[in-house]
Amino acid sequence: MRLDITLITIIVTGIISLYTLYADQNLLDKLILRPFRDSKEGNYYTLATSGFVHADFSHLFFNMLTLYFFGRHVDMVLGPLGFMGLYLASILIANLVSFQKNKADANYASLGASGGTSGIVFASILFYPYSKIFFFFIPIPIPGPLYAILYLAYSYYASKNRQDGINHDAHFYGALTGLAVAILVQPLSLIAFIQYVFGAFI
């Protein structure tokens, strides 16, 4: 029987997130990324742990729903170890950027698996460029490569404005990390992706 690393990741994240949300708020605060506090106290473990806790149930639900739909596609190409390596790298790099940019802001905090899920989505688009993506509440299928461009453009723009309380840096850098790791592990996938894009859109 093949290990379903996507489902395991969803279950583990769900248990930790729900427990900290509804049973132990003190633990939730310890696991959240707070760059100002963490740089003073040396709590660098939060670069990883903040990816396994969420602000509320809807935050958890949408991240895990995204992981459910895209995770297995990445697992099929990279296997369980490759999947986890890419997922964790996307969380860590995305959070490291947020950490460095916000060390002087005592009020800044970040949590959620968005960096990891963004990395998984972009790896999936690289491996399966012909896939169509249905964005939430938009009933029109978007070609994967086009979705990737729009996602990066919006995340970059939103990160410069920072008016909605969402860590768009995590989305942007998590996506780029996932893409970079996927190319590093499967370099031929980039060639196939470029050939598909040029054939489909040019």
- Summarised one tens digit per residue, pLDDT across range 48-67 is 999 999 999 999 999 999 99
**Total residues found in the chain within this entry:** 202
Give dist(CA 125, CA 197) in Å, integer.
11
pLDDT at 127: 97
CA dihedral 50, 67, 173, 158 (to 10 degrees): -90
Predicted model pTM: 0.93
Homologous superfamily assigned to 5-199: Rhomboid-like (1.20.1540.10)
Amino acid occupying residue 36: F
Averages of pLDDT over each 10 residues, the chain, 202 residues = 89 98 96 96 95 96 95 96 97 96 93 96 96 76 92 90 80 97 96 87 56
pLDDT at 155: 92
Write down the domain spans for the chain: 5-199
Q: How far is CA 138 from the centre of its chain?
A: 21
Amino acid occupying residue 48: A
pLDDT at 160: 82
